[in-house]
Structure 1
Amino acid sequence: MAEATQVPDVHSYPLGTSRPPLAVADLPEPEEVFKVRRLGPRELFKYALGPSLIALGISIGSGEWLLGPQAVGQFGFVGVGWVILISAVLQTFYNVECSRYVIATGEAPVVGWGRVPPGYLLWVPVSVFLVIFAFIAGGWAASAGQGVYALIHGEVAPSGAEEPRLWAIALLVLVFLIAAGAKRISRTLELANWVMVGTILVVLLVVAVLVVPWDIWWEGIRGFVTPAAPPEGITATQLGGLAGFTALASGLNWYVMGHYRDKGYGMGHRTGYISGLRGERQELLANGVTFPDTPANAARWKRWYRLLLIDMWGIFFVGAMLGMLLPTILMAHAVQVSGTVPTAAAVPTFVATALEPEYGPLMFYGMLLVGVLILFSTQLGIFEGMVRVSTDAAHGTSPRLRRMLEGDPRKFYYPFMLVLLVIIAVVLHLAVPVNLVQWSANMSNLGALFYPFLLIYLNRRLPRPARPRPWHYVLLVANVLFFGFFFVNFVADLIGDPLITF
Structure 2
Amino acid sequence: MDQETAARSYPLGRSRPDLALDDLPEPEQVFKIDRIGPRQLFMYVVGPSLIALGISIGSGEWLLGPQAVGQYGFVGVGWVILVSAVLQTFYNVECSRYVLATGETPVVGWGRVPPGYLLWVPLSVFIVIFAFIAGGWAASAGQGMYALVHGEIAPAGAEEPRLWAIALLIVVFLLTAFARRISRTLELANWLMVGTILIALILIDLFVVPWNVWWEGIRGFVTPAAPPKGITATQLGGLAGFTALASGLNWYVMGHYRDKGYGMGYRTGFISGMRGTQQKMLDVGVTFPDDAANQSRWRRWYRLLLVDMWGVFFIGAMIGMLLPTILMAHAVEVSGTRPTTADVPTFVASVLDAEYGRGMFYIALILGVLILFSTQLGIFEAMVRVTTDAGHATSPKLRALIEGDPRRFYFPFMLFLLVVISVILHLALPVNLVQWSANMSNLGALIYPFMLMYLNSKLPKPARPRPWHYVLLAANVLFFGFFFINFIADFFGDPLVTF
TM over 0.5: yes
Question: Aligned AA for 1:179?
Answer: T
2:285 to 278, 283, 288: 288
What is the aligned partner in structure 1 of residue 242 from structure 2?
245
What is the aligned partner in structure 2 of residue 63 from structure 1?
60
Whole-Å separation in 2 of the counterparts to 1:83 and 1:253: 17
Note if contact 1:10-1:25 (Cα within 8 Å) is conserved in structure 2: no
Whether 1:129 and 2:126 are equivalent positions in the alignment is yes
Q: Deviations over 1:138-188 (max 9, x none)?
A: 111101111111111111000000000000000000000000010000000
Whole-Å separation in 2 of the counterparts to 1:258 and 1:343: 36
1:333 to 330, 333, 350: 330
> Once superposed, what is the RMSD of the aligned Cα atoms?
0.8
Counterparts of 1:82-481 in structure 2 under 5 Å? 82-481=79-478
1:355, distance to aligned residue in structure 2 (A): 1.6
Q: Deviations over 1:296-345 (max 9, x none)?
A: 10000000000000000000000000000000000000001110000001
What is the aligned partner in structure 2 of residue 32 from structure 1?
29
Secondary structure of the residue aligned to 2:345 is helix
Question: Aligned AA for 2:48?
Answer: P
Note if contact 1:87-1:243 (Cα within 8 Å) is conserved in structure 2: yes
Q: Deviations over 1:251-300 (max 9, x none)?
A: 00000000000000000000000000000021100000000000110000
Secondary structure of the residue aligned to 1:347 is coil
Task: Provide TM-score, normalisation by structure 1.
Answer: 0.98
Question: Aligned AA for 2:211?
Answer: W
Secondary structure of the residue aligned to 2:185 is helix
Note if contact 1:338-1:355 (Cα within 8 Å) is conserved in structure 2: no
Note if contact 1:388-1:413 (Cα within 8 Å) is conserved in structure 2: yes
Q: Deviations over 1:219-250 (max 9, x none)?
A: 00000000000000000000000000000000
Secondary structure of the residue aligned to 2:20 is strand
Q: Deviations over 1:426-456 (max 9, x none)?
A: 0010000000000000000000001000000
1:196, distance to aligned residue in structure 2 (A): 0.2
4+ residue runs over 6 A deviation:
none
1:466, distance to aligned residue in structure 2 (A): 0.2
Question: What is the percent sequence identity of the aligned residues?
Answer: 79
1:422, distance to aligned residue in structure 2 (A): 0.2
Note if contact 1:24-1:289 (Cα within 8 Å) is conserved in structure 2: yes
Question: Aligned AA for 1:435?
Answer: N
Whole-Å separation in 2 of the counterparts to 1:41 and 1:498: 49
In structure 2, the gaps of 5 or more residues are none
What is the aligned partner in structure 2 of residue 5 from structure 1?
none
Note if contact 1:395-1:402 (Cα within 8 Å) is conserved in structure 2: yes
Secondary structure of the residue aligned to 1:348 is coil
The alpha-carbon distance between structure 1 residues 181 and 10, as it changes in their structure 2 partners (threshold 3 A), is farther
Decide which moves more: 245-254 or 33-42. 33-42
1:10, distance to aligned residue in structure 2 (A): 5.8
1:39, distance to aligned residue in structure 2 (A): 1.3
Whole-Å separation in 2 of the counterparts to 1:386 and 1:95: 17
1:9, distance to aligned residue in structure 2 (A): 9.2
Task: Provide TM-score, normalisation by structure 2.
Answer: 0.99
What is the aligned partner in structure 1 of residue 78 from structure 2?
81
Whole-Å separation in 1 of the counterparts to 2:146 and 2:38: 42
Whole-Å separation in 1 of the counterparts to 2:352 and 2:411: 41
Question: Aligned AA for 1:172?
Answer: L
2:49 to 44, 48, 52: 52
Whole-Å separation in 2 of the counterparts to 1:45 and 1:328: 28
1:193, distance to aligned residue in structure 2 (A): 0.2
